[in-house]
């Protein structure tokens, strides 16, 4: 009954990618969970569709305590699945009845909502000290620029000073073999730390170093730090940002735009030697024309963590 209400809830233009009935059981009974995965049409946002599904189901099945007819006791939960997808879990009488995955179709420039603050997007250039001359050329871009410098690099000190003189932002690119506290001390003027190494190299003393320095953390590890470490960072008052690791212009740029729109802000982490660097100025110009606001990573961190604090 619950699953039959879902297609009427804003999914009539979506594409059903997969469907299955998965057997479940507890000590009282056995039942099947209806699992579906939907590809949403361009412009449809998973959060809005999920809200519409919830409203439709709740109107079809009123509160059992207020109804004379037998109705299931429903509970609906949503969980992020990947960068932008949502998983909707629908429980009937305390048992999982339906699991719905909502996957957006990414357009290059999703329209900005006019009555809300413009979404922020930042591009963080890592390995900026590998080619100082190329890094210097970034400072001529007429938009906020953020670079990550490696500790103990022969060019980091000079590039850090030049970046600050050019009103750019500096981060420390943490290395796997150097204690984070030492890395922070070796790169002057840094406001945050970029982490790209495997999460197993991250330790509790690294959180203390970030807390002491008053720095935020950009996590660009392939699988992320995980909920355990993000919770510890939150408890220590350290701002945390999950960065988008650049893979290709075709995939990463639309993802940056959509994530910025959905979450209010987003960060793309790209290597200085990647060919996209030559398109960086044009990307930021286009973002400004489409209603997005190019920003420093610190601004993105402030907005995302302010939102997280407000929703806790």
- Three-class secondary structure of residue 94 per DSSP: coil
Can you give the CATH number for the domain in which 265 is found? 3.20.20.370
State whether 88 and 130 are in the same domain.
Answer: no
Residue 115 located in a structural domain: no
Residue 114 located in a structural domain: no
Residue 19 located in a structural domain: yes
State whether 139 and 235 are in the same domain.
Answer: yes
Beta-bridge partners for 206: none
Which of 103, 138, 164 is the last residue in one of the domains? 103
Predicted TM-score (pTM) of the model is 0.81
pLDDT at 209: 95
Residue 111 located in a structural domain: no
State whether 137 and 270 are in the same domain.
Answer: yes
State whether 16 and 126 are in the same domain.
Answer: no
Can you give the CATH number for the domain in which 96 is found? 3.30.460
pLDDT at 242: 95
- How does pLDDT run along the chain (312 residues), one tens digit per residue? 555 555 556 688 899 999 999 999 999 999 999 999 999 988 788 888 888 888 888 777 665 454 444 556 788 898 887 678 889 999 988 889 899 999 988 888 988 888 889 999 999 999 999 999 999 999 999 999 999 999 999 999 999 999 999 999 999 999 778 889 999 999 999 999 999 987 677 889 999 999 999 999 999 998 888 889 999 999 999 999 999 999 999 899 999 999 999 899 999 999 999 999 999 999 999 999 999 999 999 999 999 998 766 555
State whether 155 and 296 are in the same domain.
Answer: yes
Rounded to an integer, what is the distance from CA 98 to the centroid of its chain?
26
State whether 90 and 223 are in the same domain.
Answer: no
Residue 294 located in a structural domain: yes
Residues contacting residue 83 through CB under 8 Å, at least 6 positions apart: 244, 255, 259
Which of 51, 70, 103 is the last residue in one of the domains? 103
State whether 143 and 233 are in the same domain.
Answer: yes
State whether 133 and 247 are in the same domain.
Answer: yes
Tally of domains within the chain: 2
Residue 109 located in a structural domain: no
Q: How far apart are CA 149 and CA 130, in angstroms?
A: 9
Task: Quote the domain boundaries for residue 243.
Answer: 120-311
Q: How far apart are CA 195 and CA 174, in angstroms?
A: 6
Q: How far apart are CA 129 and CA 52, in angstroms?
A: 49
CA-CA-CA-CA dihedral for 200, 204, 209, 212, to nearest 10: 150
Q: What is the 3-state secondary structure (H, E, C) of 150-176?
A: CCCCCCHHHHHHHHHHCCCEEEEECCC
State whether 49 and 185 are in the same domain.
Answer: no
Tokens at 240, concatenated: 């945390």
How many Cβ atoms are within 10 Å of 159's Cβ, its own excluded? 21
Residue 91 located in a structural domain: yes
State whether 262 and 126 are in the same domain.
Answer: yes
State whether 153 and 249 are in the same domain.
Answer: yes
**CA–CA distances in Å: residue 215 to residues 188, 195, 265:** 12, 13, 18
State whether 287 and 262 are in the same domain.
Answer: yes
- Find out whether 108 and 257 touch, Cβ atoms under 8 Å: yes
Which of 74, 103, 132 is the last residue in one of the domains? 103
pLDDT at 68: 46
> 54-63 — which CB contacts under 8 Å span 24+ positions?
54/88, 55/9, 56/5, 56/6, 56/8, 56/9, 56/10, 57/2, 57/5, 57/6, 57/9, 57/90, 60/5, 61/1, 61/2, 61/5
Residue 30 located in a structural domain: yes
In the chain, what are the helix, strand and coil shares in percent, each to the nearest 5? 35, 30, 35
pLDDT at 144: 97
**CA–CA distances in Å: residue 142 to residues 6, 150, 281, 286:** 48, 25, 8, 12
pLDDT at 117: 93
pLDDT at 271: 97
Q: How far apart are CA 25 and CA 27, in angstroms?
A: 7
């Amino acid at each position: 009954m619950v699953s039959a209400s879902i297609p009427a809830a804003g999914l009539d233009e979506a594409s059903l990618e997969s469907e299955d009935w998965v057997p479940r059981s507890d000590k009282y009974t056995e039942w099947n969970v209806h699992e579906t995965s939907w590809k949403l049409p361009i412009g449809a946002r998973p959060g809005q569709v999920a809200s519409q599904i919830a409203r439709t189901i709740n109107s079809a099945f009123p509160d059992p305590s207020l109804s004379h007819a037998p109705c299931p006791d429903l509970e609906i939960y949503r969980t992020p699945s990947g960068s932008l997808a949502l998983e909707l879990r629908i429980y009937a009488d305390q048992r999982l009845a339906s699991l719905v995955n909502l996957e957006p179709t990414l357009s290059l420039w999703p329209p900005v909502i006019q009555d809300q603050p413009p979404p922020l997007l930042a591009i963080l250039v890592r390995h900026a000290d590998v080619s100082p001359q190329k890094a210097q050329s970034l400072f001529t871009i007429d938009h906020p620029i953020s670079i990550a410098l490696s500790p103990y690099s022969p060019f980091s000190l000079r590039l850090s000073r030049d970046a600050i003189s050019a009103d750019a932002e500096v981060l420390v690119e943490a290395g796997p073999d150097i204690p984070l506290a030492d890395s922070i001390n070796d790169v002057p003027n840094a406001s945050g730390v970029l982490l790209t190494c495997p999460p197993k190299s991250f330790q509790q003393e690294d959180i203390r170093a970030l807390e002491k320095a008053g720095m935020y953390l950009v996590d660009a590890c392939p699988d992320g730090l995980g909920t355990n470490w993000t919770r510890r960072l939150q408890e220590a008052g350290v701002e945390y940002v999950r960065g988008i690791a650049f893979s290709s212009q075709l995939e990463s740029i639309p993802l940056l735009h959509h994530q910025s729109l959905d979450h209010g802000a987003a960060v793309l982490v790209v290597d200085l030697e990647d060919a996209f660097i030559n398109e960086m100025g044009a990307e930021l110009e286009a973002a400004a024309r489409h209603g997005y606001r190019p920003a420093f990573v610190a601004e993105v961190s402030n907005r995302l963590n302010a939102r997280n604090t407000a929703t806790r």
